[in-house]
Structure 1
Amino acid sequence: MFWPSVSKSLLAVCVVLEFAVIVVESFTCENSTCANGFCQSFGACETSKSCFSQTQELKMPEMSRNLNVQQKGCSLDECTGLAFSATLGDQRTFKYEQRCCTTAECNKMDIQPSQVPAKANGVQCLACYMEAGMLCIPTLLKCTGNETKCVSVIGTAAGSNSLLSVVMVGEGCATESACNLDMTVLDLVNIRTFCSSGIPVPSTTSSVPVSTGLRPTSISTVPVLISLLLLNVLF
């Protein structure tokens, strides 16, 4: 009678352990959306994955088109933290940051977008920005702060990757974390990004005579080619 009792006890322990593994503790997260200070709360949501807090800031020369969006909620899948910024042609800047956490209501605090230092970092990139009906002539932009990469951005209508749905094309400076992205921003635009090395700013004491016409560095042709290929789509 001893061994059958031991077997039953072991079976009971195994069942309990298996149930404990299956049952995953859940917790609540703040669930809200804010756009330019106008906020809407959807009450708390419940997740077994993680909470997220996200901020996106778009600044354009036309003040009426500035947009600051903050979203908080429950992650449906594994949450991945990400922060990047880009400065494109015509003084257009975009900042994105997402943070993840795994305790109850841990996403209550608002995220303040990191400021890009104004100090030049010794790199320059071709800068341009185009939307439908717009035309731009690429200019050289001196990069600042951590924006040490030259980036090309193709934006299509959210939910579509077709070239026929391109809504914007941009070039400029960006942080390395902005490279090789394929994601939706502002719930409106799906962006794909391509990076190249920055162009070092020539020293004023360069030993290469100006009269020779030689250039100390060569400009990457990747951003230029992307723009030329998409000009026919936008116009």
Structure 2
Amino acid sequence: MTVSLAVCLLAALLGTGAGLQCEVCAAEGHNCSGSLQTCPAGQDSCGIFLTEVTLAEVKSQSILKSCVTSSQCKAGPGSVDFGYQMTRRVSVACCVGDACRNTSVPTFDAKPNGQRCRGCFVSNTDHCTEQIIYCSGAETRCINAAGTILTAVGNLTQSILKGCASESVCAQLKVGPATVAGISANLTTAKCTAASGVAGLAPGPAGFLLPALAGLLLNLLSPLPTATPC
């Protein structure tokens, strides 16, 4: 009788479980280390997110490790290219338990894929000078979004975002509160269409626009990771 009771108690403990634990940390660069934390209900995987931001040929990277859902793991790489040498790419790897010790994040795919979109990125204006954007890697969609963007320093700015995007970025796109490649926004326009060749559109005058946009993009496309990966 005593043995049977002990077996039942053990089975009950195993049934409830201690919950999945993941390393949680965030830092600039390729690596970070943090404490193990028990994941909330519904978050059944450990995610490692590597983000690369390019602004005027200057690249910066950051890493985020946290508890995630299976759907976040299956979403695939996130990538946007707004033109004017402004890109943001996120690569993800997921694991559970001891497998996380040897899990590495896939490298970014920046190879041209033969697709093209119209691209631009402006703020506080209703006019956007477009240029041809040559898509790369997982970017198979053209994004067209506009609305209020929340910068990394907490400021709100009206912006227009057009360019190449991956399917995972477009899956998050919607009118109202949304996330565009890690950028928090309240969108009034949110569209994605299939990327294809675009003829007859000359590149826009990027030279005089780039200095004016540099300060804004340093805030919007900040490589510093947040606690909630997107």
> Same fold judged by TM-score > 0.5?
yes
Per the normalisation by structure 2, the TM-score is 0.60
Give the unaligned 5+ runs of structure 1. Answer: 203-214, 216-235
Across the aligned residues of Structure 1 and Structure 2, the Cα RMSD in angstroms comes to: 3.9
Task: Assess if the C-alpha contact under 8 Å between 2:109 and 2:136 holds in 1.
Answer: no
Count of aligned pairs between the two proteins: 183
Deviating above 4 A after TM superposition, structure 1's stretches of 4 or more consecutive aligned residues are 12-18, 107-110, 132-136
Separation in 1 of the partners of 2:92 and 2:27? 15
Instruction: Give the TM-score normalised by structure 1.
Output: 0.59
- 8 Å CA contact 1:57–1:113 kept in 2: the answer is no
Displacement of 1:96 in angstroms is 1.3
The answer to whether the aligner puts 1:196 opposite 2:188 as a matched pair is no
Identity %: 18
Query: What aligned pairs does 1:90-169 form with structure 2 within 5 A after superposition?
Result: 90-104=84-98, 106=100, 109-118=103-112, 120-121=113-114, 123-132=115-124, 136-154=128-146, 156-157=149-150, 165-166=156-157, 168-169=159-160
Closer/same/farther in 2, CA of residues 142 and 40 from structure 1, 3 Å limit: closer
Residues 73-109 of structure 1, C-alpha deviations (whole Å, 9 max, x = no match): 334x666213221211212111112332221471664
1:79–1:196: structure 2 CA closer, same or farther, 3 Å change rule?
closer
Map residues 1-235 of structure 1 onto 2, 5 A cutoff.
16=9, 19-20=12-13, 22-36=15-29, 41-47=33-39, 49-61=44-56, 63=58, 66-75=59-68, 80-81=72-73, 82=75, 83-104=77-98, 106=100, 109-118=103-112, 120-121=113-114, 123-132=115-124, 136-154=128-146, 156-157=149-150, 165-166=156-157, 168-181=159-172, 182-183=178-179, 189-191=183-185, 194-201=191-198
- 1:163-208 CA-partner distances (Å, limit 9, x unpaired): x93464321112222213133765xx31565311223356xxxxxx
